[in-house]
Structure 1
Amino acid sequence: MRLEAIFVAEAGGEPMETRESVEAVHGGLAGDRYCTGRGYYSPFDVCETTFVQAEAIEEIRETTGIDLADGRHRRNLVVRGGDVHDLLNCRFELGAATFEGTRPRPPCRHVEEVAGEDGVARALGDGRGGICARVADPGELRVGDEVGDVEEMGNFEGLVASIRDRVGR
């Protein structure tokens, strides 16, 4: 999978802004509404970061005529070339950061209200809403970065080996 687009919003309901790079920090993406506690669902239902597939956004446009490519999907990181659901319960690298896929991110009524178009929540349903991920190790992300070193979180031996490789022991 390759990072195709980065979106952040300063506060809940604010338009998503596209970036070429962003710093993943403990708590989310620097400057994003959920990292700063200004998200619509803060502090009740927070995803530190959200991932969605570019192919899902294209499928929505083709089947419904709703174009969400401008960030109206309200997800932070758009990736291409794989199923984001394969990252659930996994630790993985993207750019200089490490993430942990925590849970699916179904759409809600708020995404439709902010998008200003009927049918957005329904279009993002059926597994097209993406996933939530926690920032495990901070670092910079850039458009074009590849997802790498995907490791199941239940694989303790693999996790220990990867830590040993990082510290050179």
Structure 2
Amino acid sequence: MDGHVERIRIAGEDSAPMESVESVEARPGGLVGDRYYEGTGYYSPYDVCEVTFVAAEALETIREEYDIDLTDGRHRRNVVTRGVDLHDLLDHRFSVGEVTFEGTRPRPPCAHVERVADEEGVMEALTEGRGGICADVVDGGELRVGDEFGVPEPANPEPSSIARAMRERADERAEKRVE
């Protein structure tokens, strides 16, 4: 996979401007210093995305089609990526540098994003797959601008894999009983 992290942004509390950082510590629960990790996000504790990803290409499309420039962080997403189809990461575990994430769901826009961005049309611009995704931190570490994406793996093995593993375990136990 050729994708990489182009920018990282965090905000310490609800509605605060997104601050650009070169690196941040990712832990189960989110990014240290970000509003949702700290429990101070607008939707805390009801609708929490540990980490949000948005594609730089989507932001470029928004600028071209809607004449709205969200590259200043008004999109309210944590990680801006380039060269990766974020929706391919849903229901998969994937690494970014030394951190392992699990893509959990699309992140559609909301009226709150438009209010904070203080620009009409932001919510509509972030629709149709341009809003990014949510991901949970599985194995933490330092997340850095420039980190590359690893090859995603299904988060939950196929049922046939589970069945095969169960059969193998049963066979191993049967062999031990015979000995």
Amino acid at match of 2:130: R
Matches within 5 A, 1:80-159: 80-155=82-157
- Residue equivalent to 2:53: 51
Deviation at 1:96, TM superposition (A): 1.1
* RMSD, matched Cα: 1.4
Which runs of 5 or more residues in structure 1 are unaligned?
161-169
Provide the rounded CA distance (Å) in 2 between the counterparts of 1:95 and 1:2: 9
Matches within 5 A, 1:55-70: 55-70=57-72
The structure with the largest alpha-carbon Rg is: 2
Is residue 29 of structure 1 aligned with residue 31 of structure 2? Answer: yes
Alignment size in residue pairs? 159
Identity among equivalent positions (%) equals 63
Amino acid at match of 2:10: V
Provide the rounded CA distance (Å) in 2 between the counterparts of 1:155 and 1:93: 17
Taking structure 1 as the reference length, what is the TM-score of the superposition? 0.91
How far does the alpha carbon of each residue in 1:33-75 deviate from its partner, in whole angstroms, 9 at most, with x for none?
Answer: 0000000000010000000000000000011110000100000
Runs of 4+ in 1 over 2 A off after TM superposition: 154-157
- Residue equivalent to 2:170: none
Which runs of 5 or more residues in structure 2 are unaligned?
166-179
Deviation at 1:30, TM superposition (A): 0.5
Deviation at 1:80, TM superposition (A): 0.4
Amino acid at match of 1:98: T
